[in-house]
Structure 1
Amino acid sequence: MSESQKVTRQEALTSDSGRTWLIVAGVIAALCLVMLWFMREMPPLGAATAGMVAIVIAYLAMVAIRFGVNHLRWRLGLLAVLTIVIVIIFGVVSWMTILSA
């Protein structure tokens, strides 16, 4: 395996400004929020709303990290982790809703 193929050497985790992570996470968050909006009346009541709040907080944390963290690798790593967290939040709330039906 050449050096350029290692995951830790990819541009998205080494030299990107973070704007791409915000755009991708914004699209993912918007899709998740729309789906959770339609699930808010399903049991367990409040789960979808709590999921929406958690996703918004995670995205706002991403914006704060993008502009507040100066160390590039830390910033990009945290943005990547929070992007995954948004998907995990949606997955957990969705499974809770499916299992309670």
Structure 2
Amino acid sequence: MSDPTRVTSQPALTTSSGRSWLVVGALFTAIALSVLIPMTSLPPSGVALTGAITVAALYGGMLVVRVTVSRGRRRLRLLAAGLIAIAIVSVITAGIVAATVGV
């Protein structure tokens, strides 16, 4: 029996085109880059820049998924995974730089 109140039955996770994931991903990416880019001059050398490039590449991957993967749960799961990866990479990168600087 299908339960429409289940979390996995939400339209955003089942029938969405993926546009909302891209909008939220763009916001996450903008916030992450606005934090990581100013950190590029801080030690350890190259960590913040690598994190910023990785975040941008992950969002680029989300755009590729949106265009190439057919509509459905698989596309939405890949977009969600990209969004989560952006958040994880940015938090870990900022944490490494902050721990090294001693903030």
Residue equivalent to 1:73: 73
Compute the displacement of 1:78 (Å): 0.6
Q: Secondary structure at the match of 1:37?
A: helix
C-alpha RMSD of matched pairs (Å) = 1.2
Residue equivalent to 1:82: 82
Write the mapping of 1:8-87 to structure 2, written as runs, cut at 5 A.
8-87=8-87
Matched, 1:7 2:11: no
TM-score by length of 2: 0.92
Extract unaligned runs of 5+ from structure 1. Answer: none
- How far apart in 1 are the matches of 2:8 and 2:32? 28
- How far apart in 2 are the matches of 1:71 and 1:12? 12
Compute the displacement of 1:92 (Å): 0.7
Letter in 1 for 2:3: E
CA deviations over 1:4-40 (Å, ceiling 9, x no partner): 2212101111000001100110011011001111111
CA deviations over 1:49-91 (Å, ceiling 9, x no partner): 0011101110011001001001510000010111010000001
Residue equivalent to 2:98: 98
Extract unaligned runs of 5+ from structure 2. Answer: none
- Number of residue pairs aligned between Structure 1 and Structure 2: 100
